[in-house]
Structure 1
Amino acid sequence: MSPFKSLPAVPSVAKRPVTDTRHGITRVDEYAWLRADNWQAMFKDPSLLDKEIRAYLEAENAYVEAAMGDTAELRKTLFTEMKGRIKEDDSSVPVKDGPFAYGTAFVTGGEQPRYFRIPRDGDHKDETIRDLLLDGDKEAAGKEYFRLAGINGTSDHTLGLWGYDDKGSEYYTLRVRDLSTKEDLADVIENSGGGGVWAPDGKSFFYTLQDENHRPSKVFHHILGTPQSQDRLVYEEKDAGFFMGVGGSLLDDFIYIDIHDHESSEYRILSTKDLTAEPKLVAAREPSIEYTMTEGGDVFYILTNDAGAKDFKIVEAPVEAPQKANWKDVVPHVPGRLILDHSAYARHLVWLERRDGLPRIVIRDRKTGEEHAIAFAEEAYSLGLQGAAEYDTDVIRFSYSSMTTPSQLYDYNMATRERVLLKTQEVPSGHNPDDYVTRRVFAKAHDGESVPVTLLYRKDTPLDGSAPCLLYGYGAYGITIPASFNTSCLSLVDRGFVYAIAHIRGGKDKGYHWYEDGKMAKKMNTFLDFIAAADHLVAEKFTSYGKIVAEGRSAGGMLMGGIANMAPEKFGGVIAGVPFVDALNTMLDDTLPLTPPEWLEWGNPIESAEEYAWIAAYSPYDNVGTKPYPPILALSGLTDPRVTYWEPTKWIARLRDRAPDAGPYLLKTNMGAGHGGKSGRFQRLEEQAFDYAFAIKVAGKM
């Protein structure tokens, strides 16, 4: 029996068929008109949205509220629980940098972070010594949406470059703040990528500019006191398939221009001794060859998959001649050991690797070559390498957590191997790890592969098939979903849910091959792995069919659309956050922000009939049928440049048209936010409470 009773009439949406013929195949899109013709302008000014489209989205929002009206009190309870697990006046442990240590803090009731500094060796718990540099709540006042891009200080600690997005469209405005007076200078940079890098003298900085199609295609050099229109173009990337970013070295010797797509990369470096010079190419981009750089004094350390190093290796090259001909292996490639990140300091080389699905940090003494590792004994856990803000140091910082263990922050002395616990995440409402169980099980996929699944549940949860389950998945871009502590999901687990993360192909959970086996021609493995995870949880009596609520966001939202088409009868509900469900149409539109860079992930259906067929086989919007779909909640953001609002909007309309007796199908559009949803820390909890209320409702646990 459906948990949704006495629903109002669904919002009416017109059909205006548009045909498209590619490679001899003609498709009809009845809802193409929901894509605003002026989407570029609308992202910058949402008031420009077509009135008919706005009215329809608002009608859908009203329908959602009516359908979920009986969860109003539950949502309030969930929000209160989740908020109660967050220390409201929390602050970070400041990071030492020169004469100061820099940190962030929140105030009770505050939505946005505050950036502060204290004397280098001051007591960070003493609020009287904090020098408040930037008050996020003050800057956000009166704005429906506001997201800070942080603040980056000059080498002499006198100025700070900070950025903000106040529409959710990820066009950031940059400002320069005098850290003594706390006043902003007249310099304003519009439409940036969100950050910048100071020149060592603090009189200029470098930044990326987003073009009209929301691509960071240019790097500019801005000199303080001059208008943006006079900024020097340092480098322009004319291939729309590549992303670009700008960064700097710990030694302030180089500006890095990082140019990359999903499987190849190229660096151009600019010596800070001559800021007017042309950036120097390190190694020209090659198909399927990636590399990233960090400076180690007279050498660069380069993490790369060159020369068949599928799971990556680290090479070194002279600073004066970093070209590939001079690359020399220092950490060789070992199959099955995936090196994820690396950094270098005066006396040590550090990297984060994953073996057998679990991360560890490895430290090498640069003089002696001696190595040692930092690892933990839990069955599943998350490890984050935060490094240090200074080059001449023996102390790095890392974080650790598991599904049952709150986050712990450590300083680690690489020379003495002393580990100092700086902070343990506080759960004000209380948390006893002994009340919970975390496990890692393995599901057998259709082709015999073993798919890891991380589980969290209370010790008293019956494992007889009666428990509902929230099964989360992503499976794209090589992104691994960590088995980390999550205070929000405890609201489900404490209600008898099994919370599960399916580490499916498309991520790098089991090495680089795990990513390759879930992209392009092999993308179908991602969907089949997720279904296999559901089957395994049922077979082992962690849950039952119809009690599983599937959840995924963005590319994970595509996953949700795919598994809903392929195995709708196995799921009790589906939560699809900002879902990439109109994959074929999006990959056929090279004017959209992310389309050209995404062709290496999904395929280019414009040029290739074969790749068109790959995407057409799973694209959720194109494969909607007359099936027994479970209730589906689709969430979107009006100004989302990554997954545009019309994708879930069209998907829900087509579901209603083709399978009207199933569902119901709910579309909730945030009219004042983009891809990440609301920007405030408690506003985001309100959204999470809504999602979990849907899960509880469809699981019959209200």
Structure 2
Amino acid sequence: MKIPHLKKKSEIKTCHNISWEDDYSWIHQDDILEVLKDSKKLNPEVRKYLEEENSYTDFHLSDTKTIQKKLFDEIKGRIKLDDESLPFKDFDYEYWSKTTTKGNYSIKLRKKIGTNNIEEIWNGDEEKEKLKVEYFGVGDLEVSFNDKYLGYSLDTKGSEYYTIYIRDINTKKLVTEKIEETSGSITFSLDDQYVFYSKLDENHRPRKIYRHKLGTKVSEDQLIFEEKSEAFTVGIGLSADDKYFFINSSDHNTSEQYYFDVNEKDPKPKLIKKRQRGILYSVNSWDGKFYNHTNENAEDFKIDISNSLEKPDWKTFIAAKDEVLIGGLTFLKNWIIRSETSDALDKLFVKNITTGIEEELIFSDETVYVPGASLMQRDKNTDEIYISYSSPKTQSRVYSYNLSTKEKKLVKEQEIPSGHNPDDYIVERVDCKSHDGRLVPLTITRHKNTKMDGSAQLLLYGYGSYGSSMSPSFSTTRLSLINRDIIWVTAHIRGGMERGMKWWKEGKLLNKKNTFEDYIASAKYLIENKYTSKNQIIGMGGSAGGLLMGAVVNQAPELFLGIIMAVPFVDSLTTNLDHSLPLTVGEFDEFGNAKDKKDHFDYIYSYAPYNNIKKMDYPHMLITTSLSDNRVLFDEPAKFTAKLREYKTDNNLLLLKTEMNAGHGGKSGRDGAIEEIALDYAFALKISKKI
């Protein structure tokens, strides 16, 4: 089949007295945010190219249709389709959700406490059918405090412009005007007369908080708070003791918080502490005291306590620890639950408020696992909570746990209908030395029968941005590769917070290349230690993890058999220079500001995947994107693919797949998500010659 070619229209770009040529910049439309809302506004020539690439991908993966179907059935066969969540007990009702064999979306249910009368208050599949849309994204689903109203927000394009609806649960009729172009979050007032929401500006940034009175016109909504900085975005939430609303304004690196009493008739948010560059803080209130989770004078966070916000006198409640990330607090009447993260592993601690004694909750004798804790009910006067754990080889198990007696009872175990034996798998945690001597944790999961002589293929997953830590949790999908002797390795590289804030700082801004070096060092370690061999590794990452893939494949293509990148941030220099795009300004403290700072420009230019494509051999590559993605515009992977076709000197596969009705998270619905995974895995098996 003929290889697609995107027309070249040379443009000379200039910044900081440096010029470079961009042959494909023309595909970016000035009205791109309008295209995200209405794909009919897409340049017809660009649409034609994307459709040609889709046809080309379908042609070259036509021999994988059988394995795609098999993988789909395998993955779906590991899911208990007709499942129910554990109930959460509100004051008058118990609420929970369920999925069905046929449905793609969840159903929300409730039962009045003391009765057996179950009500269905939300059915995602029915709502989608009513709207006659292909994409159906649910942003928020909230019930009012009087249990009378259901608030929900929907994105029907994939572009994350959410419309809020409030309806009467009993009549299912809307009780107020729909609220459009919001971030999606819904917060009811305690008297259920109002909802608070954040409105998106012309650049798709939530910088205003409004209060809407139910039954009134949206045009009459009251502006409660406005953030003036284009780099900051805002959100609103309720305190743990239901006494205050907190408004949080932040970028990735700095935060500022305001509060007002839940009973204020005309809310006037009051500043807690003025923003200070590089300082993150988050205040909550409980039992007449205020708790501040902050990194001020505590790189890896601490928690301070004060009796007042008007005249604060902050004292240490949980002290900072070096390279141990201190998490937030969950409150009960007699207990405080908190988390810590170190060496890419989480721990949970419980403190008895009366005695002051704190103990770690031990869940399992496995070395690598993910613990969890959640509340069973809204009434905080209880000793009962849910605790859970999973590991890369062990499915999730949830227990009811009495904090006082320490008795636990298994209440839900993730069911794998097609069967699963954790003893068939081996999980290892190793550290590999990076280029500068820093030790990078690797979580390795393999089948016990996979040979350890270097002959196995290996999938190396990485992300490494925004301080987002990769959790070593259980995944039913990965088993489809692991069972076929492909070892799965998660590299906990810098840019995340697996080793605290320092781990993040060492992988961003002018340290960003450490993220790429860590990943390459991980690949080399796995080769040297006979987990796999050169040219047998499949790299995988999405979004900022796609930036990682693009950078490392330009730097060390010889290590890889293939690369799978989803919605990849590969034209990072162009995006960073465009301050009108939704995420750019808010990410100056993550990636830098190339437009205004020459050292940032030079650094980003030196690694940006699109700008650093070379004339050389590249491994097999599958690149997926979505037309309505507002976080990483589809034109980034489209440009990257077109330029790569021009430069690469090999005959390996280069495939671009664009979902024409999806967003940053891909297709909506359970089956849609499984189809995308099956496509990725089929590509991996094809290049591994396992089909």
TM-score for the superposition, normalised by structure 1: 0.96
Structure 1 contact 210–218 (Cα < 8 Å) conserved? yes
The separation in 1 between residues aligned to 2:339 and 2:375, in whole angstroms, is 11
- Deviation of residue 389 (structure 1)? 5.1
2:665 is paired with a residue whose SS is coil
Q: Distance in 2 between matches of 1:209 and 1:646?
A: 26
Q: Within 5 Å, which residues of 2 pair with 1:585-604?
A: 585-604=574-593
**Using the alignment, how far apart are the partners of 1:339 and 1:250 within structure 2?**
19
Q: 1:121 to 1:147 in 2, by over 3 A?
A: farther
Q: 2:206 aligns with which of 201, 213, 216?
A: 216
What are the superposed Cα offsets for residues 463-484 of structure 1, whole Å, 9 maximum, x if unpaired?
1111111110000111111111
Deviation of 1:31 (Å) = 0.6
1:188 is aligned to: 178
How far apart in 2 are the matches of 1:283 and 1:475? Answer: 30
Aligned to 2:603: 614
Moved more, 175-184 or 540-549: 175-184
Question: Contact (CA 8 Å) 1:295, 1:344: kept in 2 or not?
Answer: no
Residue of structure 2 aligned with 1:165, choices 147, 155, 160: 155
Identify which of 313, 330, 338 aligns with 2:302: 313
Quote the Cα distance in structure 1 between the aligned partners of 2:683 and 2:447.
Answer: 21
Deviates more, 1:26-35 or 1:249-258: 249-258
Displacement of 1:317 after TM fit?
A: 2.0
What whole-Å deviation, never above 9, does each CA across 1:205-239 have from its counterpart, x for those lacking one? 10001112110011000001111111001111121
1:526 aligns with 515
Equivalent runs, 1:653-668 vs 2, <5 Å: 653-668=642-657
Q: Given the alignment, which residue of 422, 425, 430 partners 2:411?
A: 422
Q: Which deviates more from structure 2 when the two are superposed, residues 573-582 or residues 655-664? A: 655-664
**Contact 2:616–2:649 at 8 Å: present in 1 too?**
no
| Partner in structure 2 of residue 364 of structure 1 | 351
Kindly provide the amino acid, as one letter, of the partner of residue 17 in structure 1.
S
Indicate yes or no: 2:230 matched with 1:243.
no
The letter of the residue matching 2:226 is E
CA distance in 2, matches of 1:385, 1:263: 27
**Deviation (angstroms), 1:166:** 0.8
Aligned-pair CA distance for 1:660: 4.8
CA distance in 1 between counterparts of 2:75 and 2:265 reads 49
Does the 8 Å contact 1:637/1:674 carry over to 2?
A: yes
Match of 2:74 among 81, 85, 99: 81
Match of 2:97 among 81, 101, 104: 104
Q: 1:175 aligns with which of 165, 174, 178?
A: 165
- Tell me, yes or no, if the aligned pair for 1:19 and 1:29 is still in contact at 8 Å: yes
Match of 2:59 in 1: 66
Q: Give 1:267 shift.
A: 0.8
Distance, in Å, in 2 between the alignment partners of 1:51 and 1:689 is 30
CA contact (8 A) 2:344 2:469 kept: no
Which moved further from structure 2: 383-392 or 40-49?
383-392
Q: CA deviation at 1:319?
A: 4.4
Residues 369 and 391 in structure 2, CA contact (< 8 A), matched pair in contact too: yes
Aligned to 1:125: none
Query: Which aligned pairs between 1:409-558 and structure 2 lie closer than 5 A?
Result: 409-558=398-547
Q: Give distance in 2, aligned partners of 1:85 and 1:459.
A: 20
What are the superposed Cα offsets for residues 154-204 of structure 1, whole Å, 9 maximum, x if unpaired?
Answer: 212111211111110111111112122233323211111112111111011
Asked if the contact 1:296/1:346 (under 8 Å) is kept, the reply is no
Pick which of 351-360 and 88-97 moved more: 351-360
**1:652 counterpart residue number:** 641
AA of the residue aligned to 1:402: S
Q: 2:371 aligns with which of 383, 387, 391?
A: 383
Alpha-carbon distance change, 109 to 660 in structure 1, aligned in 2, over 3 angstroms = farther
Q: How does 1:107-126 map to 2 (within 5 A)?
A: 107-120=100-113
Give, in whole Å, the separation in 2 of the partners of 1:26 and 1:419.
65
Residue of structure 1 in register with 2:333 after alignment: 346
| 2:123 aligned with 1:135 | yes
Q: CA deviation at 1:388?
A: 5.2
Question: Structure 1 residues 380 and 359 mapped into 2: Cα distance closer, same or farther (>3 Å)?
Answer: same
Cα distance between partner residues in 2 of 1:532 and 1:211: 42
Distance 1:405 1:288 in 2: 38
CA contact (8 A) 2:344 2:471 kept: no
Q: What is residue 566 of structure 1 aligned with on the other side?
A: 555
* Residue type at the aligned position of 1:589: D
Give the 5 Å matches for 1:30-69: 30-69=23-62
The percent identity for this pair of structures is 40
SS of 2:630 mapped into structure 1: coil
Q: CA deviation at 1:320?
A: 4.8
How far the C-alpha of 1:121 sits from its partner, in A, is 6.2
Output the amino acid matched with 2:236. V
Deviations 1:650-702 (A, max 9, x none): 00011011115343311100000010001101210000000000111111211
TM-score where L is the length of structure 2: 0.97
Q: Given the alignment of the two structures, is residue 144 of structure 1 paired with residue 144 of structure 2, yes or no? A: no
Alpha carbons 2:140, 2:186 under 8 Å: kept:
no
> Once the 2 structures are TM-superposed, how far is the Cα of residue 553 of structure 1 from its aligned partner?
0.4
CA RMSD between the two structures:
1.5
C-alpha distance in 2 between matches for 1:71 and 1:509: 37
* Aligned-residue offset at 1:362: 1.0
* SS of residue paired to 1:79: helix
1:304 maps to which of 294, 297, 317 = 294
Could you say which residue in structure 2 is the equivalent of 1:4?
none
Deviations 1:224-271 (A, max 9, x none): 111111100111112111121111124322111111111111111121
Q: From the superposition, tell whether residues 389 and 315 of structure 1 become closer, same or farther in structure 2 (CA, over 3 Å).
A: farther
State the alpha-carbon separation in 1 of the partners of residues 607 and 114 from structure 2.
Answer: 56
Identify unmatched segments of 5+ residues in structure 2. none
**2-side partners of 1:441 and 1:251: how far apart?**
42
Q: Is the 8 A contact 2:300 2:322 kept in 1?
A: yes
Please, which moves more after superposition, 647-656 or 244-253? 244-253
* Partner residue of 2:612 out of 609, 620, 623: 623
- 1:352-382 CA-to-partner distances (Å, cap 9, x unmatched) read 1113332111111223211111134322112
Q: 2:87–2:376: 8 Å Cα contact kept in structure 1?
A: no
Distance 1:250 1:96 in 2: 16
Mapped partners of 1:592, 1:412: distance in 2? 47
1:678 paired residue number: 667
SS of alignment partner, residue 317 of structure 2: strand
Other structure's SS at 1:572 match = strand
Q: Does 1:395 align with 2:421?
A: no
Q: Quick check: 60-69 or 404-413, which moved more?
A: 404-413
Deviation at 1:383, TM superposition (A): 2.2
The Cα shift of 1:433 comes to 0.6
Determine the C-alpha separation between the residues in 2 that align with 1:397 and 1:19.
Answer: 59
Shift, 1:393, TM fit: 3.2
Query: What is the alpha-carbon distance in structure 2 between the residues aligned to residue 239 and residue 611 of structure 1?
Result: 21
Q: What residue is the counterpart of 1:279 in the other structure?
A: 269
Deviation at 1:343, TM superposition (A): 2.1
Partner AA of 1:215 in structure 2: R
Would you say 1:29 and 2:22 are equivalent positions?
yes
Q: Report the secondary structure of 2:178's partner residue.
A: strand
Q: Are the equivalent residues in 2 in contact too, given 1:294–1:344 (CA < 8 A)?
A: no
Gaps of 5+ in 1: 1-7, 123-127
Change (3 A) 1:542 1:121: farther
Which residue number in structure 2 is paired with residue 203 of structure 1?
Answer: 193
